[in-house]
Every structure is written in C-alpha cells, then in structure tokens.
Amino acid sequence: MSGGASTSRGIVYQGIVCVLNSLVNEEWVKVVVEPKVEKKDSDKVDISWTLLDSKGNQSSKATQVKTTINQFTIGNIGSWLDELIEKTPNCDHYELSLIGNLAPSAYNLAHKINNQERFTESSEIKWSKLETYFGKISVVSYPINDDLFFRAIVTYLTELGEKHKLNLKFGDYSFASKALIGDVQVLSTKSVEVSREEYEKQIVHWLSNIRQEESKWKEAADKSYKHIVNRAYELCNLESWKEWYTPLIMQTFKIKPNQITNFHIFFDEIRSFNWPNYPYKNDYLEKSILRFKDSLEIIIEAFSNKCIYEPYSKMNVVPKHFYLPGVSQEEEEIRAKDYYNWIKEYQGLYIELSKSANLFADTVREKLDPTFLQFNGKLGGFTYSNDEINKIFNT
C-alpha cells in the first residue's frame, strides 16, 4: 500500500477485511496479520491463512490488501499478483483483495482470473503467465463505502457476541465497530500465527470489555481535544484577541515579534498533533481548529512577507516601508497609497480569520467546553453563514 492518506485508508480497510474473513470464513484454522517474511521488500502479504478443507487437508493462502481512491488497472492486478507469487512461492492460494473501483478492463481481467478464462485482449496478454496459476489465484473487490462496511461489521460482531452469549446492546456493537475502524491493532496478531480459537477469543475478550473501553477512550479523546484547544488559547492569545486583532482591521497593523513566534509554534503543534481516532474522533472540532489554523497561517505569512521590525522600537512588526520616517511628502503619499492598496488586497483575509476564529470558539463551546471564551463576544465581529458552516463541516 502506498504512503500518505491512501496508506491510512488501506490500513483501516485491511482491518475490516480481516474481521469479515475471520468471522464469516469457516475454512481457516490459523491466521497471521501483517506477517513478517524473510525476503527483502516482501511486505506485500498483509494476511496469511492456514486453511482446512472438509477432508482435513491443510493449505496456505496469502492475501494482499490494496486500496486506492483512483481506479485499479489491469497493470495493477497483474503486477501485484505477479509479485505476490514471486515473493511467496510456496503458498497454495493467492488472493488479491482490492478496495476501490476497478476500471472496466481491470474488472474483465479479474472476472477471467476468477473463472479461469484465457486472456485474449491485447492489454491482458502481458500477464498471460498468470493463467498457469488458474485455480490458485483469485481477485476480490469491495467498493470504498464506509457505511456498507460499518453495517457489515456491526452485523458480524453482533453474531459473534450472541454466539458467545455476551450481554451487549446494539449500541455496544455499534461502538465496537467504530472502535475497530479507529484502532485496527485490536485485530493484529503482531505477526505471530494464532489459531482460529485464539483469534476469536482475542476479539471476544475485547468485545466483552467494550463498555469499560468506551469510558476510557472518551476520556482520552476529551483530554486530547482540550489540550490542543488550550494551546490555541495560549499561543494565539485568544483572551486578548481584540488587542492584537483590532489593529489589523483599523489599518494600523502592529504585532509583537514574540506573538509571531507563538503563532508558528501553534502551526507546528497542529501539524504534528495526533488527532483522536474513531469512535471519539470529533470531525466538527477537528475541522474548526484546522480552519482557524489555516486562516491564521495565511494572514500571518502574508503580513510577515510585507513587514519588518519597527526601526525605532524593535518591539513591533509593522508593514514594510509604510511607516519609515524621514521620507519626503511625495514619497510618503506613494507609500500611503501602496499601504491602502495592500490593506484592501488583504481585507478578505482579515474577515476570513475572524469568521474562522468564531467558528472555532462556537464549536468548542458546543462540543467540548461551554465556558470557552464565554464572555468575549464575537471575535472580530464576522461570522460564517449557515450555508458556509454546512459546507465546511460536510467536506
């Protein structure tokens, strides 16, 4: 799986696929999640299974999970199966599990592999050696649909709980499903082979303690959000918002150098912050904090590019050249004109920052702490419309 956001998505769905297989597939007797293998660069196997047929014969299966927000291609399927076979030559079965959409040609190739039909299209011929593995290779695909997978997990966890006579309600299974999405380590075997009985026992034990886990995770998530909100409050001087923000609006922009430094500390902390995962990930808080951070970072960068330390005090950062003393009247008029053009150019940034600050404060009061900046009124006086707020939170 590739890096970045697609890796995170792949890890989440890898866990989902493993859960579904472990709960509905009666063939397997042992499993290794994210197994270690000796050969270099052979991390293509995400899950390996030991299967047992009706006659008591054991066989092995290697499953590779891939995900993408783009379309899978013939080349993807061919190369991944080829690599999977090459890296794990002693396996009896190879399964490529694709989470996402398949291009029409890729869909046709997958269909032919699963039905053991000859490759006839020119784009398929390159992978014709895979025909020698017919009966041992398969391709399964799932759409990227959070709701679909979530409902399936709830259903199968409920079946597992009822099988073991756990006294849980629907809400408990719903919470457990969200928790699995947020923490797939619950499913990990730490690269150690475990039996079906052991693996099921591991999940059942976790499931039976889900109510205690719920309280613990909620407390941890609230603590995490309160920490980053407090850092925003401290580093961005929100209590004294009007003292440093009003000069921006009044076109007499001055700001202390140490405040600029604190802003950059805040930006860095947000970039490195580990946001809580589901089920207590709060998208509203996260999006409002990030919106405020992005708006503040844009305006500070814009002004910093135009500013220098005030020559006579070394205490404030002011617009470059606009306040330099000792210039002629003509030069002063030119600078004044440039200054007002500059202010007009960045006026939208002032307004956006104020709107994002108010959205941040309102969201914190609603979702986390009703007393947050309770008596400060509207910061800067500008707010988003309801349509704008809906768009921010729904994208």
Output 309-312 pairs: Cβ under 8 A, ≥24 positions apart: 309/257, 310/254
171 and 226 belong to one structural domain: no
Instruction: Match 């784009």 to its residue by tokens.
Output: 123
259 and 192 belong to one structural domain: no
- The mean pLDDT of 359-367, rounded to a whole number, is 94
pTM: 0.55
Checking if the pLDDT of 164 tops 50, the result is yes
Checking if the pLDDT of 188 tops 80, the result is no
Q: Which two tokens stand for residue 284?
A: 């509203």
Q: Which two tokens stand for residue 375?
A: 């008596």
185 and 133 belong to one structural domain: yes
Q: Which two tokens stand for residue 159?
A: 């079946």
Q: Give the other-Cβ count within 10 Å of 177's Cβ.
A: 24
244 and 195 belong to one structural domain: no
Cα dihedral 97, 101, 105, 111 sign: positive
270 and 231 belong to one structural domain: yes
- The mean pLDDT of 321-344, rounded to a whole number, is 69
Of 300 and 223, the structure prediction assigns the larger pLDDT to: 223
The pLDDT tens digits for 32-54 are: 877 454 444 334 457 888 988 88
Q: What is the pLDDT of residue 295?
A: 93
Overall size of the chain counted in residues: 395
Q: What is the pLDDT of residue 308?
A: 55
Q: What 3-state class would DSSP assign to 50?
A: strand
Q: Is the bond preceding residue 257 a cis peptide, omega within 30 degrees?
A: no
The Cα–Cα gap between 36 and 38 comes to 7
Structural domain boundaries enclosing 167? 5-208
Checking if the pLDDT of 264 tops 60, the result is yes
Task: Indicate the residue among 188, 208, 228 that finishes a domain.
Answer: 208
Q: What is the pLDDT of residue 205?
A: 87
141 and 224 belong to one structural domain: no
Task: Indicate the residue among 208, 235, 261 that finishes a domain.
Answer: 208
The Cα–Cα gap between 317 and 253 comes to 8
- Count of domains for the chain: 2
Is the CB of residue 61 less than 8 Å from the CB of residue 94?
Answer: yes
Q: What is the pLDDT of residue 117?
A: 96
The Cα–Cα gap between 34 and 191 comes to 6
223 and 202 belong to one structural domain: no
Of 200 and 75, the structure prediction assigns the larger pLDDT to: 75
Cα Rg of the chain, angstroms: 29
Checking if the pLDDT of 13 tops 70, the result is no
Checking if the pLDDT of 6 tops 50, the result is no
Task: Indicate the residue among 208, 240, 269 that finishes a domain.
Answer: 208
44 and 150 belong to one structural domain: yes
Q: What is the pLDDT of residue 365?
A: 94
CATH code for the domain of 51: 3.40.1350
Q: What is the 8-class DSSP label of residue 34?
A: S
Q: Which residues of 236-268 are buried (b: 16+ CB within 10 A; e: fewer)?
A: bbbeebeebbeebbeeebbbeeebeebbeebbe
364, containing H or E segment: helix 329-367
34 and 166 belong to one structural domain: yes
The Cα–Cα gap between 225 and 285 comes to 8
251 and 337 belong to one structural domain: yes
The pLDDT tens digits for 111-133 are: 999 999 999 999 999 999 999 99
204 and 223 belong to one structural domain: no
283 and 172 belong to one structural domain: no
Checking if the pLDDT of 162 tops 60, the result is yes
The pLDDT tens digits for 71-94 are: 999 999 999 999 999 988 899 999
Mean pLDDT of the chain: 80
- The mean pLDDT of 158-179, rounded to a whole number, is 84
The pLDDT tens digits for 287-296 are: 999 999 999 9
